[in-house]
Structure 1
Amino acid sequence: MSDAGDLIDASLQREGSWLRAEDLQSRWGSGLGYYGASVGAVRGTVRDALRRHRDLTHDDITSLSSELWSVPVFERRLSAVVLLQSKVRLLDNADLTRIEGFLRTAQRRELSDPLAVDVVGPLVSGLDLPGRVRADSVLDRWAREPDIWLRRAALLSPLRALRAGGGDWPAFVRHAKLALAHPSDPDAGTDPVREAVAVVLADVAVHRPELEFTADAT
């Protein structure tokens, strides 16, 4: 492991609580391991690591995120998300491939949603026009994917921009229609894709009531 990766992992384990880890295991199941560190501890750990390693480049950040994600422990994967959130301005269009891999294996809304809203969305918004066109083609593909978490990410990614008065509303409507065309997954409980559409529509109803979503998409 890298020095930064070792630092983060050791800090997360020190901040862990076996009681919290058991609680997460009982609530969320056995798909991931748990150290039992709080969300605040994860954010503080990443912040401290970035202070100690101020010279991390784009390649260092993306490599570290993959290193953290590679071990299926919830707090490690959440730290990878926080790392990308903290350095989203360094990311570019090519990083969507790596993020796609994370989304396919996220397993939890608590990992996939911040990746979509706080990483993919700002990444795409910060691209130049040619980069945004390429990114839009990726999101179009995600919206058609059988993988429910990629479809959910395509829908949630413009949330921050839409709330702030920007964003591509026609693209969201297009993605919603594509995503909703897939049948619901009976094993997913509450349908994550329809839930994502509802989240965006509820937020838009408050912040952008002038935007309309046609009834035939629902």
Structure 2
Amino acid sequence: MSDPADFIDLALQREASWIRAEQSRDRLGSGLRYYGSSVGAVRGTVRDALRRHQGLTHDEVTALSSELWAVPVFERRLAAIVLLQSNVRLLRNSDLTRLEGFVREARLRELVDPLAVDVVGPLIAGLDLVRRVRADSVLDRWAREPDPWLRRAALLSPLQELRAGTGDWDRFVRHARMSLASPRRGSEAADSVPDGATAAREAIDVILDAVAKSRPELRFSAAGA
């Protein structure tokens, strides 16, 4: 492992708790391993790593995120997300390919949601007009995907902007209708993963709840789906 990845992994293991690990396994399932480190410990560990290894470049940050993600341990993958969130200003349009791979493998709200809301959304919000148009075409494809977690990520990505009273409502409506109309493979085989059947549909409700508080004049209809 690289020095930053080794530092993060060892620190997370020092913060491990078998009781929390068992609780996480019971709550999130057995698809991943769990150290039992708290969310606060994960965030603090990434913060300490960035202090020790200052000035990481775009390529170093993205490579480190992939290195952390490659091992199927929940806390390592959460650390990869926190790392990207902390360096979102460095991310580029082309990084959506990497993020798509993360979303496809995550299959948990606890990983997909922060990826969408705290990484994908701010990444796209920081792009110039030309690059944002290209990124929107990627999200258009995600919104039509049979994979419910990619649909969920596309739908949740504008949450920060919409909650703040800005954001492109028409784009969200378009993605929501695409998602609701998206064909399912093999009698919704893609939705057969745990919680998959509702993962995308409940994302629409999350956005509608947020918008109801900040922009109550906006309305959503599934017409055209």
**Band the TM-score falls in, shorter-chain normalisation:** over 0.9
Q: CA RMSD in A?
A: 1.4
- Using the alignment, how far apart are the partners of 1:215 and 1:70 within structure 2? 38
Structure 1: gaps of 5 or more residues: none
The change in CA–CA distance for 1:15 and 1:141 in structure 2 (over 3 A counts) is same
Aligned residue identity for 1:120: V
What amino acid is aligned across from residue 171 of structure 1 in structure 2?
R
Partner of 2:136: 136
**Following superposition of structure 1 onto structure 2, how do residues 1-218 of structure 1 map, counting pairs within 5 Å?**
1-182=1-182, 185=191, 188-189=194-195, 191-216=198-223
Question: Once the two structures are superposed, what CA deviation does each residue of 1:1-23 show, in whole Å capped at 9, x if it has no partner?
Answer: 11000000000000010111111
Normalised by the size of structure 2, how large is the TM-score?
Answer: 0.93
Number of positions where the alignment pairs a residue of Structure 1 with one of Structure 2? 218
The CA distance in 2 between the partners of 1:46 and 1:40, in whole Å, is: 10
Q: TM-score, normalised by structure 1?
A: 0.96
- After superposition, the Cα gap between the structure-2 partners of 1:141 and 1:2, relative to the gap in structure 1 and judged at 3 Å, is same
Secondary structure in structure 2 of the residue aligned to 1:191: helix
Q: Which residue type is aligned with residue 210 of structure 2?
A: D
Shift of 1:166: 1.8
- Provide the C-alpha distance between the structure 2 equivalents of 1:55 and 1:215, rounded to a whole number of angstroms: 46
Counterpart of 1:200, as a letter, is I
**Letter of the structure 2 residue corresponding to residue 203 of structure 1:** A
Q: Deviations over 1:65-99 (max 9, x none)?
A: 00000000000000000000000001010100000
Would you say the 8 A contact 1:31–1:107 is kept in 2? no
The list of structure 1 runs, each at least 4 consecutive aligned residues, that deviate by more than 4 angstroms after superposition, is none
Give the residue type in structure 2 aligned to 1:201: L
Task: Provide the secondary structure at the position in 2 that maps to 1:59.
Answer: helix
Q: CA deviation at 1:147?
A: 0.7
- CA gap of 1:78–1:153, structure 2 versus 1, over 3 A, is same
Q: Distance in 1 between matches of 2:192 and 2:108?
A: 17
Q: Kindly, what percent of the aligned residue pairs are identical?
A: 69
Q: Which amino acid aligns with 1:60?
A: E
Contact residue 143 and residue 179 of structure 1 kept, 8 A: yes
Amino acid at match of 2:207: V
Q: Separation in 2 of the partners of 1:217 and 1:33?
A: 42
Contact 1:117 1:157 in 2 (8 A): yes
Give, in whole Å, the separation in 2 of the partners of 1:187 and 1:128: 36
